[in-house]
Structure 1
Amino acid sequence: MNTRKKLPLALLYADEEQQIDGRTRFQKLIFLMQMEGNLNDLTPTETYRFEPYDYGPFSSTLYDDLDNHIERGLIEDSKETLDEEDDIVQYKYHLKPEGREFIEENESGAEFERVVEEAKRIVQEYGDVPLPELIDMVYSKYPDYAENSVLR
C-alpha cells in the first residue's frame, strides 16, 4: 500500500477515539498533516493533491481512498442527520478493529511510525477545534485554498 493511502489510516489510528466526525474535517486534517507535518520528503505520488474548493482544500482522491478502505473493511463510515429539513448529514469515520489489526500487522516500519506521530500531533493540535474555526484557520494560513470558497 502506498504512503498516500496510509494517511487516512494513520490519522484514525493516531486519534485516541479512532473517529473523525465529518468529511470536511477529515479533508482539513489530512491537508494539515501534509502541509505542517514533517512529511516534506514524501513524493507527490505519496501525498494527496488538494485544490481550492467550496470549503477550502479538497482532494477527491482522498474520498476514493476512504471508500477503498471502507470496502476492504478497515474503516467504517456512518451518517448522522443533523437537519432533516435542509437534508444536512454528517459522516463519521471509525477505524474498525480489522483496520487496527491491519496496521499493527503490516505497517510496523519507521516511515509509517513517523506518519502516525505527525498525525497524532495534528489531531492534538486541531482535532477538537470547532469546524468553522478550523476552516478559518486553514483559510488564513493557506489563502490560496480559499479562493473558491462558498464561505467567503
Structure 2
Amino acid sequence: MSNKPEMGIDDAIVLLLGAPGSPGSVPGRLNGITRLEKLVFLLEKETQAPEWLTEEANFEPYNFGPFSAEVYKAVDMLSAAKLVVDSGSKAASDEDTWEQRNMIGGELAGDDPYATRDFELTDRGWRYFHALAAELPDGAIEDVAGLKQRFARLPLRQLVRYVYQRYEDYTTKSIIRDDILGRRP
C-alpha cells in the first residue's frame, strides 16, 4: 500500500494558484481560463507533477489546442467549495477570450465578448494550499513555482504559441493554428 496522497486536477489548480509567482504578480491569482488550462497542461508535460498527481486532466486536441473538460469541472468544484473565487472581469484584449467567445466555459462571460474568468484563492483556499503543499514530495512546490514564474505572466498569445510549437499534436483541431503559428505549406 502506497502512502502517496490523492492529488487530483483540482489540487493541481490550487497548487498553481498558491505557488509563488513572478515579482509583481498577485499572490494566489491567475487571470483567464485559457491561461489556467495551458498551465495545467504544462504542469503535466514539463514538471515532475505526474509523479505526485493521481489524476490526469486528459487533454485532447480541440479548437484552441490542448483542452481538458476536467480543468473546467475542477474550477467549478473549487468555486462551489469556496476555495477559489471565479470572477468574470474585462479582459485586456480579445486574445484572452478565445474559448469564451466560442462557448467553451463561457457561462460567466455572458454576451460580453471581452469578459474573462479570473481565479483567486480565498482564505479557505490558502489553508487548503498549505495543507496540500505539506503533503507533496520535496521540491514539488519549487517545481510548480518555477513553471508559474516562467509562464503565468506571459502574454496569452505567447503562452499559446509556446504550447503550439512544443506540442503540435494538440493543435490538429485548432481553429486558430494558422493565426498562432502562421500558415503552413
Establish whether TM, by shorter chain, passes 0.5: yes
Please report the RMSD computed on the Cα atoms of aligned residues, expressed in angstroms.
2.2
Distance 2:41 2:131 in 1: 26
- What per-residue deviation string (whole Å, max 9, x for no partner) do you get for residues 45-76 of structure 1? 52211011111111001111111111111000
Distance 1:86 1:48 in 2: 28
Between Structure 1 and Structure 2, the one with more strand by share is 1
How many percent identity over aligned positions?
28
2:169 matched to which residue of 1? 144
Q: For structure 1, which runs of at least 5 residues remain unmatched after alignment?
A: none
Give the Å deviation of 1:108.
1.4
How do residues 53-132 of structure 1 correspond to structure 2 at under 5 angstroms? 53-82=62-91, 87-105=113-131, 107-111=133-137, 114-132=139-157
The amino acid that maps onto 1:37 is T
2:57 is paired with a residue whose SS is: coil
Distance 2:73 2:130 in 1: 23
Equivalences, count = 150
Give the Å deviation of 1:12.
0.3
Q: Which stretch of the first structure deviates more once superposed, 137-146 or 82-91?
A: 82-91
Which residue of 19, 22, 38 corresponds with 2:29?
Answer: 19
1:67 is paired with a residue whose SS is: helix
Distance 2:58 2:87 in 1: 25
TM-score normalised by the chain length of structure 1:
0.87
Q: Is the 8 A contact 2:11 2:132 kept in 1?
A: no
Distance 2:120 2:20 in 1: 10
1:41 is paired with a residue whose SS is: helix
Q: Which has the larger radius of gyration?
A: 2
Bigger relative contact order, structure 1 or 2, given CA contacts below 8 A and separation 6+? 1
1:9 matched to which residue of 2? 14
Distance 2:155 2:132 in 1: 34
1:76 is paired with a residue whose SS is: strand
Distance 1:86 1:147 in 2: 28
Between Structure 1 and Structure 2, the one with more helix by share is 1
Distance 1:108 1:42, change over 3 A: closer
Q: For structure 2, which runs of at least 5 residues remain unmatched after alignment?
A: 95-109, 178-185
Q: Is the 8 A contact 2:52 2:136 kept in 1?
A: no
Q: Which stretch of the first structure deviates more once superposed, 33-42 or 124-133?
A: 33-42
1:47 is paired with a residue whose SS is: coil
Distance 2:79 2:111 in 1: 28
- What per-residue deviation string (whole Å, max 9, x for no partner) do you get for residues 99-118 of structure 1? 0112324651233x644322
Q: Is the 8 A contact 2:89 2:117 kept in 1?
A: yes
